[in-house]
A and B are shown apart, each in its own frame.
Chain A
Amino acid sequence: MRITDLLKKQGISLGVAPKTKREAIDMLVALHEKCGNLSDTAAYKEGILAREDMGTTAIGMEVAIPHAKSEAVKAPALTAITVPGGVDYDSPDGAPCKLIFMIAATTDGDVHLEVLARLMQMLMHEDFTAKLKAAKTADEFLKVIDDQETAQFPEEAAAPAAEKKDGFRVLAVTACPTGIAHTYMAAEALAKAGDAMGITIKVETNGSGGAKNVLTAEEIANCDGIIIAADKNVETARFDGKPVLSTKVADGIHKPEELINKIINGEVGVFHSDKKADASASAGGDESFGRKLYKHLMNGVSHMLPFVVAGGIFIAIAFLIDTFAGNAGSSSFGSVNEVAAWFKTIGGLAFNLMVPILAGFIAMSIADRPGLLVGLVGGFMATSGSTFFNPGAIGFNDIISGMFGDILDGKVDFATAFAQATEKADQIAVVPSGFLGGLLAGFLGGFFMLLIEKMCANFPRALEGIKPVLIYPLLGLGGIAVIMNAINPIMGIINNGMNSALVAMSETEGLMIPLCALLAGMMAIDMGGPFNKAAYVFATGMLSFQTDAAYQIMAAVMIGGMVPPIAIALSTTIFRNRWTLEERRNAPVNYIMGLSFITEGAIPYAAGHPLQVIPSCIVGSAAAGALSALFGCKLMAPHGGVFVFATMQGTWMFYILALLVGSVLGMLMLALLKKPIKE
């Protein structure tokens, strides 16, 4: 407890001239009131006067220290006056008082006695009291006290500097590979040692429950140094330019005092990070909510990108092989040739993980490690289309094969099995909610986990270990399953509604061009969700009628799926300042994916900037679809992109024109909507 912590500038009044002891007391009490130290001024003053009645608080040497311990005091504090002319304070030596401190003490604790003692120890130095009496300004008065205090109590000299900054002198991060026991033991040992040594310390725990008590950029900037007691990697870029002591987590448990002393005594070298970018990224303890959401989103998108790129190229290779094998135009184009089929299947596996990864890493960015499970599972449920009544998202084919299984086992006759299977098949409409559902899963799942972590925060310490291994996963899995099962049927309803609307439209004369524009635009909305699926299934379904209208619709749908990646790739090439380096580097692949009718290539960009990318893609795709229909382009193959152009019976030149116009339109609109970014 330092005097300078208790005495504020406003609590000092120099060169005053009270006529009586009573007047001096009134002045000092008024100073306390002005500083906001009192909750009841009258009661406090009564305490002061009662104390004076028992005997004067003048201590000789022209000094008096009136004091009172009272309920009326909010927090321990001091006020002071100097009286150059002196005032009669019933001093034991009969001399008038020229320097008066008034102590306001709370009824609890020994602050009262400690402050008195310290004041006395300092006042014994006559040059000190002389300097105080001679001080002209409150600042000078405080400086005299501070200097004296620093000289007399050097061991704590550095402390007030840190305390004034409202920070911690020493920061620490503890972590161990499992993150259940040692992390917390080391944190407790360090905190206890800091307490015992009178050093302010804050410890961040990077346990399996995620980082807790996270150090803020401000605290890092203001501390003396950082102790990292960890047996696994800790995010260190944020400590750039500060003294950092890296050691085993065991040292944090067994010799915390030694570690703290090394920091305080300046025995630790300054740490330089080679990852400045990360340091600036973590600088924001005061980031806006929108900015945080964006960071979570981009964490998901950047982890998803490799899956999209590798999977997309594999599928494109499959189309290429099948083209050379002469299978262009086949209904199972891309997997007719066995080698092509291998590439298409493997690429498809990577694609299947795309949305779970997106959702998983969004949730992990929000809720740390516990978020990964909810995000991954939620994202997987979004791609599979899991619902309460069909949690495994069993499709039509599974039902049919199940039917034959039952018949072969002799359980039912064919007619019954067939009836059951058709009834079942009618009930289910497995519609994945696609990447939009995945985004929802990531964010809802992440915040849901945060909520659970908050609710479990007051659990007994003994349960700390099982929280991340049992409680979080259990509650998280149950929660995200309920959330996603509730969302997916809505997608099914949307899908069914669109199907009927599309069928109705196709049966109406003269609506071919609007229908094609609509279908192509739908391909760009969610790139694998209910809209995209409705359009694509409708088109492939129509193919079986083998009419010109059906072929035109198929052509429009495919072009609608080709435009988004190409429009985005064009944008990254021409409007470079709209995109980050990472986004630009990954974009060339989008030319290949767009030309191969792999719309998923656009997902990372659509997920990262949905409000700009999705509308632009819809407009571009719809325009391309309308042009394709206008030119009378016809397509018999359900897939294949540029590889099946050759099967388009001479309409392919117009088709390329439509594709170009749509892509350029999408790119231009994107340039309008998406503002240049600063790097």
Chain B
Amino acid sequence: MVSKKVTLVNAQGFHMRPANVFASAMGKYSSNITIKFNGNSYNAKSLLNIIAACIKCGSEIEIVCEGDDENEALADAVERIESGLGE
């Protein structure tokens, strides 16, 4: 299991479009990927889960990956979030 803390840079938070982008990107990996935020864990492959977390701009979240491709998944997730998920 690997994990890393990142800060969300999207001005409007983790709203539907970036969540969609992120969830579908994570869906390609076989590892279990979770977002830890505010003491709760959310399934990073689920658009609904991500939006339900209500993560606002500047929030620090922890990405946790566990599985065969956990390192690739974590690197990809961190890069996407740090780059603003295409926004």
Contacts and interface: CB of A to CB of B under 8 A. Distances in A.
B51 A120 contact: yes
Contacts of A57: 16
Contacts of B48: 59-60, 120, 123-124
Interface stretch (B52-60, B64-72, B75-83): B52-60
A65 B15 CA distance: 12
Interface of B is mostly: helix
A73 to B, nearest CB: 14
Nearest to B13: A113
A116 B17 CA distance: 12
Given A55-B20, A59-B47, A60-B47, A120 B13 contact: no
Nearest to B21: A55
A110 interface: yes
Contacts of B13: 110, 113
Given A120-B48, A124-B48, A67 B54 contact: no
A114 B54 contact: yes
B16 A110 contact: no
Given A54-B17, A60-B47, A124-B48, A117 B54 contact: yes
B17 A113 contact: no
Interface in A80-107: 92
Contacts of B53: 117
A355 B14 CA distance: 72
Contact of B52 (A51, A67, A120): A120
A56 to B, nearest CB: 9
A113 B12 contact: yes
B51 A117 contact: yes
Interface string A39-81: 0000000000001001101011000010101000000000000
- Counting contact residues on chain B (CB < 8 A from A), the size range is 10 to 19
Interface string B37-53: 00000000001110111
A110 B51 contact: no
A114 B12 CA distance: 11
A121 interface: yes
A112 interface: yes
Contacts of A92: 24
B25 to A, nearest CB: 13
Interface in B9-32: 12-17, 20, 24
B79 to A, nearest CB: 20
A92 B24 CA distance: 10
Contacts of B17: 51, 54-55
Interface string A102-138: 0000000010111011101101100000000000000
Nearest to A122: B52
Contacts of A110: 12-13, 56
Contacts of B16: 57, 59, 65, 67, 116
B76 to A, nearest CB: 19
Contacts of A121: 52
A494 B8 CA distance: 83
Contacts of A123: 48
Contact of A112 (B12, B24, B47, B52): B12
B15 A113 contact: yes
B53 to A, nearest CB: 7
B31 to A, nearest CB: 21
Contacts of A118: 52, 54
Nearest to A113: B13
A124 B46 CA distance: 11
Contacts of A116: 15-16, 51, 54
Interface in A314-344: none
A189 B18 CA distance: 40
Contacts of B15: 112-113, 116
A114 B24 CA distance: 22
A526 B31 CA distance: 98
Contacts of B20: 55
B28 to A, nearest CB: 14
A60 B16 CA distance: 13
Contacts of A51: 17
A55 B22 CA distance: 13
A49 to B, nearest CB: 14
Contacts of B54: 113-114, 116-118
A121 B51 CA distance: 8
A113 B51 CA distance: 8
23 contacts: A54-B17, A55-B17, A55-B20, A57-B16, A60-B47, A65-B16, A67-B16, A69-B12, A92-B24, A110-B56, A113-B15, A113-B54, A116-B15, A116-B16, A117-B52, A117-B54, A118-B52, A118-B54, A120-B48, A120-B49, A121-B52, A124-B49, A124-B52
Interface of A: 51, 54-55, 57, 59-60, 65, 67, 69, 92, 110, 112-114, 116-118, 120-121, 123-124
Interface of B: 12-17, 20, 24, 47-49, 51-54, 56
Given A54-B17, A55-B17, 15 more contacts: A51-B17, A57-B16, A59-B47, A59-B48, A59-B51, A60-B47, A60-B48, A92-B24, A110-B12, A112-B15, A113-B15, A113-B54, A116-B15, A117-B51, A124-B52
